[in-house]
């Protein structure tokens, strides 16, 4: 097997898993094979998917970002409070939230690079900081009645007979931007080189420090964008929003074939990981016999099974 084939095998495996899973669900449940269900795979997983785009870039570099779920919660309640209680225009509030998310990411990236601290510990501290900030702003959910948010919540782009909600459109934009950054820019190549071997990247003269800071900045901004998508989806801000989403995003990225140790992966794999995640959730909802708690357990077991299957297949062809 050629090196190029081995490099793309995780992507092929992930695509095959999605097709098999979607086909199996379609045969089991009436109405699963429909445009509405397929679009909902993107709509219902938009927040997780947007986070996963930024997480993919971070894992490319050999890092991890545990703060993203908390940043979603902070962005959610921060934006809702500014708009609903202080009369700030949604565009200004949204830009401020994105700036704060990016600033937190840049701060964590700087700590990781300058002080040579493990990303796990630094971003764990960032998670507590963002979640604490969210609870400091408000301990209760805040509904947003501003006309712009109401319009965005109800908006859908008509493409033929398909209606694409705002959150799905944001996810598509994030995936396209992530694909371009990851695979068509020098920054993306630097990320993969850094994840492959940081010492070699230094010897090659790559800007390791700027790359690390830059990727965590992008991750923080994508988490803030996911928080804004969550506000549009739910119509309210909630300091508890995003609990556990960092683990969902990591699972989506790894299922997509990106190595957790870094240096290898593809943004299209993350797309298929999102679709697999959404298919599992939709199939369990169609079944209707499992409580939400059991649904989460089954999702976790299936995700673990896919990860192990992928690892076994990769080990056999090496």
Strand partners, 162: 159
The answer on pLDDT for 304 being more than 80 is: no
* Confidence band, pLDDT 50/70/90 cuts, at residue 318: low
The domain spans of the chain are 7-317
* Confidence band, pLDDT 50/70/90 cuts, at residue 186: very high
pLDDT number for residue 285: 82
For residues 44 and 281, what is the distance between their CA atoms, to the nearest angstrom?
A: 9
* Confidence band, pLDDT 50/70/90 cuts, at residue 260: confident
Mean pLDDT, range 70-77, rounded to an integer: 98
* Confidence band, pLDDT 50/70/90 cuts, at residue 45: very high
Mean pLDDT, range 77-101, rounded to an integer: 97
Task: Tell me the CA distances in angstroms from 317 to 22, 28, 311, 314, one per residue in order.
Answer: 26, 33, 10, 6
pTM equals 0.94
Q: Does the domain spanning 7-317 belong to CATH 1.10.3470?
A: yes
The answer on pLDDT for 237 being more than 90 is: yes
Mean pLDDT, range 274-288, rounded to an integer: 85
DSSP 8-state assignment for residue 244: T
For residues 175 and 183, what is the distance between their CA atoms, to the nearest angstrom?
A: 12
pLDDT number for residue 22: 93
pLDDT digit string, tens, across residues 9-40:
778 888 988 999 899 989 988 889 888 899 99
pLDDT digit string, tens, across residues 122-177:
999 999 999 999 999 999 999 999 999 999 999 999 887 889 999 999 999 999 99
Do residues 94 and 82 make contact, with C-beta atoms less than 8 angstroms apart?
A: no
């Amino acid at each position: 097997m050629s090196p190029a084939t081995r490099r793309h095998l995780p992507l092929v495996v992930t695509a095959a898993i999605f097709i098999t899973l979607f086909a199996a669900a379609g045969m089991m449940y009436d109405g699963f094979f429909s445009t509405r269900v397929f679009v909902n795979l993107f709509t219902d997983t938009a927040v997780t998917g947007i986070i996963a785009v930024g997480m993919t870039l971070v894992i490319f570099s050999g890092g991890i970002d545990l703060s993203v779920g908390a940043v979603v919660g902070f962005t959610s309640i921060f934006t809702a409070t500014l708009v609903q209680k202080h009369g700030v225009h949604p565009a200004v509030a949204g830009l401020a939230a994105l700036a704060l998310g990016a600033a937190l990411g840049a701060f964590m990236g700087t700590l990781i690079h300058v002080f040579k601290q493990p990303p796990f510990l630094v971003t764990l501290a960032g998670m507590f900081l963002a979640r604490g900030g969210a609870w400091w702003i408000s301990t209760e959910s805040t509904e947003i009645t501003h006309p712009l948010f109401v319009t965005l919540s109800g908006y859908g782009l008509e493409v033929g007979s398909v209606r694409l909600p705002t959150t799905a459109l944001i996810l598509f934009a994030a995936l396209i931007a992530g694909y371009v950054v990851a695979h068509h820019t020098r920054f993306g190549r630097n990320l993969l080189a850094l994840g492959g071997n940081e010492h070699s990247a230094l010897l090659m003269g790559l800007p390791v420090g700027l790359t690390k800071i830059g990727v965590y900045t992008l991750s923080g901004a994508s988490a803030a964008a996911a928080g804004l998508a969550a506000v549009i989806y739910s119509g309210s801000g909630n300091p508890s929003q995003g609990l556990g989403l960092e683990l969902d995003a990591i699972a989506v990225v790894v299922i997509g074939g990106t190595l957790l140790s870094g240096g290898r992966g593809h943004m299209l794999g993350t797309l298929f990981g999102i679709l697999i995640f959404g298919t599992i959730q939709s199939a369990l909802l169609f079944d209707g016999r499992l409580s939400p708690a059991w649904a989460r357990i089954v999702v976790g077991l299936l995700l673990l099974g896919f990860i192990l299957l992928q690892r076994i297949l990769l080990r056999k062809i090496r």
